[in-house]
Amino acid sequence: MFKSYLVAEEKVEEIMKEINGILAAGNRMEAERAVLVTHANRLDEATRKARELLDSWLGYIRKQIGQG
């Protein structure tokens, strides 16, 4: 489970690096508009997936140690 979570977090990081590159490349307002069109949904989905996997992994650990 933890490895799945790490992969999801790496995807979030990859998208954030892409966004950072776009924001650094030109006019901030135009870049932000482009990010909204091209990356916002991907980032939202990747972040949601990472959070779900984190919650699952932590729930599993809690059950294993008797706290869930």
7-62 tens-digit pLDDT: 999 999 999 999 999 999 878 999 999 999 999 999 999 999 999 999 999 999 99
Residues in the chain: 68
At residue 53, the pLDDT reads 98
At residue 68, the pLDDT reads 61
Per the confidence metrics, is the pTM higher than 0.75?
yes
Return the number of other C-beta atoms located less than 10 Å from residue 47's C-beta: 16
Binned at pLDDT 50, 70 and 90, residue 67 comes out as confident
Alpha-carbon torsion, ordered 35, 16, 28, 37, to 10 deg: 0
Q: What is the longest distance spanned by two Cα atoms in the chain?
A: 53
